[in-house]
Structure 1
Amino acid sequence: MRKPQIDYEAVFRALPGMVALLTPDLVYADANEDFQRLSGRTREQLVGHYIFDVFPENPNDPAAAGMRDVKASMMRAVATGERDTMALQRYDIEDPQRPGHWHEHYWSPVNAPVLGPDGKVALIAHRVEEVTELIRARGGTGSSDRQARVLEAELYTRAHELQEVNDRLRQAHAREREVALTLQAALLPAPRPLGEHRVAVRYRPAIDALNVCGDWYDLVDLPTDGDRFALAVGDVVGHGLAAACVMGQLRSALSAAARVADGPAQALDALGLYARFVEGAESTTAVKTFVDWDSHTITYSSAGHPPPALVHPDGTVVFLDRATDPPLGARPEHLPRPQESVTFTEGGTLVLYTDGLIERRDEDIDTGLARLTDSLTRHRRADPETLADALLTDLLPTTGSTDDTALVVLRL
């Protein structure tokens, strides 16, 4: 059967219901025919214009909050990359034929992000359903205008009450975020050199108040006569204060285990046994590396974590992925974890990171690893501090990530 040729522009214009496309700066990019007809605005009056220049707030209504609510919803869609459904909104519209005359309207809006090829929000699909007549009709056949007005006012009040509840929830989440980040910062080790070796560490929280904390890094001087130390990163499944507490326990336990273990696999074995008794530690991922300067070797073991990247001086990037086992607590029985060793050349770089740096919900992980490889190759000659900043700039969305990110960069 021949595949039909679809004119998506024609489909958009013919969509039933009011639908408009806006840029992340809230400028109209397009509007379908129903949107133009029902809003009383032509395409020329919409496209290229800021939304609140076309539809300003009713200056005669001191309680009007539609502009604030609509803008906040659209900004959430841009920041999170997720659809935002709004409570019923009253948003009056100025009569285009009679400036200064406003008509009362009620709307049910939904704002959905449209992602571009780079995975970033390129447009906002703004769909609105006008429910003004429905609200008025709820007064019943033969009801007086006064009864209809009372019902309208009640629905309007309930909508604002719901919005106020949402605002309070967001404020509570913001407070939890602040407390969780403070605890996270206190539990993570302060940046410091490892002997004469240069190392940079970074932690970037998620933009979502509920998706912060849980990622960690650790730097350990190993108690030997040689020049040896251990690096680790990990990621607790949960978020918020609970995740920060679990993270602190697991990081401390792995740090202690590394000082007495023969290698990274044995350290992760001990951590796995300990995690069985820590609520919320299930399915945590972690990777541990031992760096031996005397033998120029990196020994590593991974518990379900994205592989560390070894950057050779010529720009070749090798992912250390030959000793990967399931996350902590993922198996009912305890089995020894694998470990592998690779040699390194002085002048190379070792990079450990959590999945927030490379993973995006709308793309395969190989795409993120390829993006990381490209950035590492281009910036391979940079010092660790500069390279760490370059990786965050190149790989994290400009609007912020929906997952937190931990990063360790060591010059070998």
Structure 2
Amino acid sequence: MKDTAIDYAAVFQSLPGMVALLTPELVFADANAEFLEGAGRTREQVVGRPIFEVFPDNPNDPSANGMRNLQASLNRVLDTGERDAMALQRYDVERAERPGEWEVRYWSPVNAPVLGPDGKVVLLVHRVEDVTELIRARGRPTGGRTRVLEAELYTRARELQDLNERLRKAHAREREVALALQAAMLPARPQVRHEQIAVRYRPAVGALNVCGDWYDLVDLVDGHRIGVSVGDVVGHGLAASCVMGQLRSALSAASRVAAGPGQALDVLGRYAHVVDGAESATAVTTFIDFNRHTITYSSAGHPPPVLVHTDGRVEFLDRATDPPLDAPPDPAPRVQATTSYAEGATLALYTDGLIERRHEDIYTGLDRLAEALRRHRTAGPEALADEVLLELLPSGGATDDAALVIVRL
């Protein structure tokens, strides 16, 4: 057996059930004979063409949503690199022999990734089971109890799909409210005297894992220092936005009166203990002194800020890191550290959505961020922020929201 080569093309054609292969651009790369027969298409009509060009929604049915649901599932697989089983779908198919005539069809789809050596999705396996007859069976007498039970099962699946659709719409409404609240609390233009600053916030794709990240910039009382902070609340949706707003406001107030960033985070950590939903929240804050050319910083479980010196040297500000805000049962004073810089250096603060990728070590993301900042360090803050997002965020959108603050020192 060790010397026997496996003909995977023959295996693919022999797979039980309707199976097709799609490229990341959602173009048919191949389809087995059972898929072509069940879909009523020839190989020439399918391979090399976009899936939704071959199988569009029924234009005669205003409620048709099979194409949208399938596209959402395929995009989830591309974004996460994980298998996605869909609920029962009604997805009508145009008769190939009678253009303009559509046949009501029901399908049970499963989409799975094929990963390349770099861990990226190189192909999508699209497997569907035609359950049209089982759905129709419920509406007429049948001779077998098993067939009736199967039809009942798929009908319940259809009802579950309708429930999921209602939940999706409810999540979408909550997401809109949460994003509006987030936008109101995170100004697009920093309200500080220092002008060489760019801020960016990119929400996650979909309703999950959105609206927990934040940033804040404040003028400190002596007039030649500013405080720059970012943070991350565990959770999603409107609840996370509300917790984010409380923590951001508390840190903003504490920074204005604290002796240093360590003391500001100490106050915030004590406050987080009495805020429901602040469990495991993280934050990092920096006090920038433009007269002394120093940055004093403190972190509560957050990824370290990145300082890019004018000669291209990259310094991670990681010498003052404590546990997340509410982690210590008896909060102790937070540590802080100070580093110096030359005029023209660049400081970047960010949240983990910018650097973390599924199935990838976090240090890979940190190295990628450092390299992007170093390579584009001569660009202005706005252009630099755009380049960093372009290089680090997935083209189809991230599964976690991301905040980024760039300060030219």
TM-score (norm 1): 0.85
2:329 is the alignment partner of 1:332: yes
Change (3 A) 1:116 1:370: farther
**Which residue number in structure 2 is paired with residue 47 of structure 1?**
47
Q: Structure 1 residue 182: deviation in Å?
A: 1.1
In 1, are the aligned partners of 2:73 and 2:111 still within 8 Å (CA)? yes
Q: Structure 1 residue 103: deviation in Å?
A: 6.6
User: 1:181-330 to 2 correspondence within 5 Å?
Assistant: 181-189=179-187, 191-192=189-190, 194-224=192-222, 227-330=224-327
In 1, are the aligned partners of 2:137 and 2:147 still within 8 Å (CA)? no
CA distance in 2, matches of 1:241, 1:65: 27
Change (3 A) 1:358 1:10: farther
CA root-mean-square deviation: 3.6
Q: Secondary structure at the match of 2:325?
A: coil
Change (3 A) 1:303 1:20: same
Query: Partner amino acid for 1:331?
Result: P
Query: Partner amino acid for 2:108?
Result: S
In 2, are the aligned partners of 1:137 and 1:148 still within 8 Å (CA)? no
Q: Secondary structure at the match of 2:330?
A: coil
**Which residue number in structure 2 is paired with residue 342 of structure 1?**
339
Change (3 A) 1:327 1:9: farther
Q: Please, which moves more after superposition, 339-348 or 28-37? A: 28-37
User: 1:331-410 to 2 correspondence within 5 Å?
Assistant: 331-410=328-407
In 1, are the aligned partners of 2:308 and 2:373 still within 8 Å (CA)? yes
Change (3 A) 1:52 1:331: same
Q: Secondary structure at the match of 1:201?
A: strand
User: 1:55-134 to 2 correspondence within 5 Å?
Assistant: 55=55, 66-78=66-78, 82-91=82-91, 105-114=105-114, 121-132=121-132
Change (3 A) 1:288 1:363: same
Q: Please, which moves more after superposition, 371-380 or 86-95? A: 86-95
Q: Structure 1 residue 364: deviation in Å?
A: 1.0
Structure 1: 5+ residue stretches without partners:
none
Change (3 A) 1:13 1:323: farther
Q: Secondary structure at the match of 2:248?
A: helix
Query: Aligned pairs, how many?
Result: 408
In 1, are the aligned partners of 2:191 and 2:218 still within 8 Å (CA)? no
In 2, are the aligned partners of 1:79 and 1:207 still within 8 Å (CA)? no
Q: Structure 1 residue 115: deviation in Å?
A: 5.2
In 2, are the aligned partners of 1:193 and 1:199 still within 8 Å (CA)? no
Change (3 A) 1:246 1:358: same
CA distance in 2, matches of 1:195, 1:64: 53
Q: Structure 1 residue 379: deviation in Å?
A: 0.7
Between the aligned residues of both structures, percent identity stands at 68
**1:3-57 deviation digits (Å, cap 9, x = unpaired):** 9987766654554433212134432012245434554545444320232444456
CA distance in 2, matches of 1:14, 1:302: 57
CA distance in 2, matches of 1:393, 1:335: 40
Change (3 A) 1:59 1:143: farther
CA distance in 2, matches of 1:317, 1:6: 50
Q: Structure 1 residue 259: deviation in Å?
A: 1.7
Q: Secondary structure at the match of 1:408?
A: strand
User: 1:3-42 to 2 correspondence within 5 Å?
Assistant: 12-32=12-32, 34-36=34-36, 38-39=38-39, 41-42=41-42
Change (3 A) 1:3 1:194: farther
Change (3 A) 1:117 1:233: farther
**Which residue number in structure 2 is paired with residue 171 of structure 1?**
169
Q: Structure 1 residue 407: deviation in Å?
A: 1.0
Q: Structure 1 residue 221: deviation in Å?
A: 1.4
In 2, are the aligned partners of 1:139 and 1:148 still within 8 Å (CA)? no
User: 1:116-155 to 2 correspondence within 5 Å?
Assistant: 121-132=121-132, 143=143
TM-score (norm 2): 0.86
Query: Partner amino acid for 1:20?
Result: A
